[in-house]
Each structure stands twice: as C-alpha cells, then as structure tokens.
Structure 1
Amino acid sequence: MARTGRRPGQTETREHILAAARNQFGQRGYDGTTIRGIAAEAGVNPALIHHFFGTKEQVFAAALQLPVDPTVVLATITEGPRGEIAQRILRLFLSLWREPETRQSFLALVRSVSTNEQAAGTLRQFLEQVMLTRVADALGISRLRLTGVMSQVMGIAMVRYIIRAEPLASAEEDELVALVAPVIQHYIDG
C-alpha cells in the first residue's frame, strides 16, 4: 500500500508521478494503465495524482508531454455550430503548431511515435479509445471519417511545419482554412 501524505524533505513528487506514468503507459499501454498502478509505482496515494493532474487522460497528456489538454480539444471540436467544425479543428491545430513551445512538443511527439513502436502503440490506444471514440460519438460520425479528418490535419502539419514546402509553409492561416476546411467538413458531413 502506498504511503499517504507528503514525502519528507525536498519533494519531486510530480516528477516521480510523471516518470511512473511514462513507465506504466509504456509497459501496459493506455488501457492497461490505472491511476492506482501509477500511484503504487510512484509511492504516492492515488488522490495525489488526481490533485496534480486530474483524470487519467490528463496524466497521459502530461506524461507524454502532449501540448494540449484533450478535454480542450474535445470541447473545441464539439461546441458550436456543426457547419463550422472543420474551421474550429483547423484553427485549433494551426494555432498549436504556430506557437514555438507547442510546436516543439508536437515535433518531439512525432519523432517519438515514428521511431518507437511502443510510444506509437500507446498514443494509438489513447487516440482510438479516448479521443476518436468521444469525438465520433459526440458528432454522430464514424471513426473512419474522423481518422480521415486527423490525416488531413496531420498532413498539413507535416507539409507546413516539418517539411516547410512552399507555398503552404508561408500561406496565411485564413487562406489555409478557406482552402482545407471544406474538405474536412466533407469528412464530417459526408
């Protein structure tokens, strides 16, 4: 049983929890990882994990250094007029890639999942079982259509921010939204 309360002396509890979470997600995948398992490995009470991070999804986001809170993504996509979903998706992700800090986090994540099958598998489980399911259910569309949306957004990110192919790399965001939103909206509406 994990000890309760604060650790004596200088505390690095948050970092210990994140290290335990990375290990647990890496070994067990998203589904097999529990808050209790992370707490046991970190030597803390599960309530402390909830205090620092909140939900399992938020621990995952912090452990993998996802540059955005999954609950924010879900709310951004699902709240507002249905005919503007594609615009909201594009504007959200373009804004995340535009900022140097979140861009670096995304680049690190892309490198990790493209070179490490364990990292790719864990992220895939999270996307498939948490994000895609919730968004697909909220919008009333198939997960196949939603993965089509994801492929469009990731393709734009790769070409614009990683490969930096012109004229896409220097195009104004409004111009990109006008160009690509109808395609993404088609995935959503059919």
Structure 2
Amino acid sequence: MTEHTAPRRRGRPRGGTDSRERILAAAVDEFGEQGYDGSTVRSIAGRAGVDSALVHHYFGTKADLFAEAVGIPLRPDIDVPGIVAGPRDEVGERLVRYVLEAFERPEVRRRGVMLIRTALGSRVTSPLLAGFLARELIGRIAKLLAVPDAELRATLVASQIAGLIVTRYVLALGPLAAADIGDLVHRVGPTVQRYLFD
C-alpha cells in the first residue's frame, strides 16, 4: 500500500496568537545583530520559532518587515521606481517634491525625525538605516539608470535628499525650514537632476 502525504492546506500559515509580535521582536534583534544585508526572512523566522511563510504572511518582504521594525515612515523601495520611471526631465524635481511633501505630514515628520536622530547617534541603527537605503533606494535608482557610474549618481542623490531632510526638519535651520516647498523643489530639483543624468 502506497503512503500518500496529506495535501497542504491553503490559507494562513500556522502560528500562535502571539506570532506577529514574536516575529517583530526577532526582526529587531536580528537586524540589530546582523545588519540589514546580513538578515534574512529565514533567519528572522528561525529566531521567532515560526515558518518563513508566516513572516511573509504578516509582513510581506524583508523591506516591509524592516520598515515596521524600525518605524521607517517612507517606503522609497515602493515609491521611487515609479518616480524615476516618469518623464526624464522632471525626475529631480519629482524626487525632491516626494520627500518634502511626505515630511510635511505630521506623522511622517515625527517618526522620520526620530529615526534620523536615532540613526545619527547610534552604532546599531546607523548601519541598519544605511543598509536599507543602500539596498532599497540607492540600489534601485542605480539599476534604473543603467550607466557605468549609476551607484555614485544614486548615492549623490541620496546625500542631497538626506542633507535637505536633516537641515529642514531635524536642525530646522531658519530660512530653509521656513521656505516654501515649491521654491525648494525649484532650487534643489535641478541639482538632483544633474546628479542623475548629466
């Protein structure tokens, strides 16, 4: 008599009622110890004592899980490819506008400023955030540019945007903090555009 394995049941992977919280706690520990690039969904699942499918069920991708674990208020991995794929002569201004308009939302500004301040002063959070940005922002822009120095160009863009965020929202330096978004887009956008395409 031939043995037959039971068919796999469809639906949510099995896990305890506290599985989501255990996964999130495991992710914080794993990201803290291994960094963004060194952590995997499988290693986080193992630390939480659940199947990898349950991690995907609750959080989606590693980037989704990281964003929730450290409280990232923006998702450049989701939003930026569409911005870069638009009309080429407007990409710089669209990127600047995207970031500034997002940070004008109180919930984004509050969490974003807290994350930046923490990252700048923490040996744990700083490489985590850098790894996330390198993979999910800079790497994605570089792939879309498809030129030999694409990574340098994308990193220059990130430096410009990060400097703008820190100066306007973290340090809140006078005229820049008070400036109109449209004016900043008009002034900073061409610099980002030049980094990308000139």
Q: TM-score, normalised on structure 2?
A: 0.85
What is the CA distance between 1:121 and its match in structure 2?
Answer: 1.4
What is the CA distance between 1:48 and its match in structure 2?
Answer: 1.1
SS at match of 2:60: coil
Q: Residue 40 of structure 1 aligns with which residue? A: 46
* 1:103 counterpart letter in structure 2: R
Q: Residue 137 of structure 1 aligns with which residue? A: 143
* 1:39-97 C-alpha deviation (Å, 9 max, x unpaired): 11112221111111111111111111111224323333322111111111111110221
Question: How many angstroms apart in 2 are the aligned matches of 1:165 and 1:111?
Answer: 15
Q: TM-score, normalised on structure 1?
A: 0.89
- Candidates 108, 114, 125, aligned match of 1:119: 125
Q: Please report the RMSD computed on the Cα atoms of aligned residues, expressed in angstroms.
A: 1.6
Q: Residue 71 of structure 1 aligns with which residue? A: 77
- Candidates 14, 22, 41, aligned match of 1:5: 14
* 1:133 counterpart letter in structure 2: G
Question: How many angstroms apart in 2 are the aligned matches of 1:16 and 1:95?
Answer: 34
Question: How many angstroms apart in 2 are the aligned matches of 1:38 and 1:177?
Answer: 40
Question: How many angstroms apart in 2 are the aligned matches of 1:116 and 1:72?
Answer: 26
Q: Residue 184 of structure 1 aligns with which residue? A: 192
CA contact (8 A) 1:57 1:70 kept: no
Percent identity, aligned pairs only, is 39
Question: How many angstroms apart in 2 are the aligned matches of 1:166 and 1:70?
Answer: 27
Stretch of structure 1 that moved more, 73-82 or 131-140:
73-82
What is the CA distance between 1:118 and its match in structure 2?
Answer: 2.0
Question: How many angstroms apart in 2 are the aligned matches of 1:75 and 1:14?
Answer: 29
SS at match of 1:167: helix
Q: Which runs of 5+ in 1 are unaligned?
A: none
Q: Residue 53 of structure 1 aligns with which residue? A: 59
- Structure 1 position 163 matched with structure 2 position 163: no
Distance 1:70 1:12, change over 3 A: farther
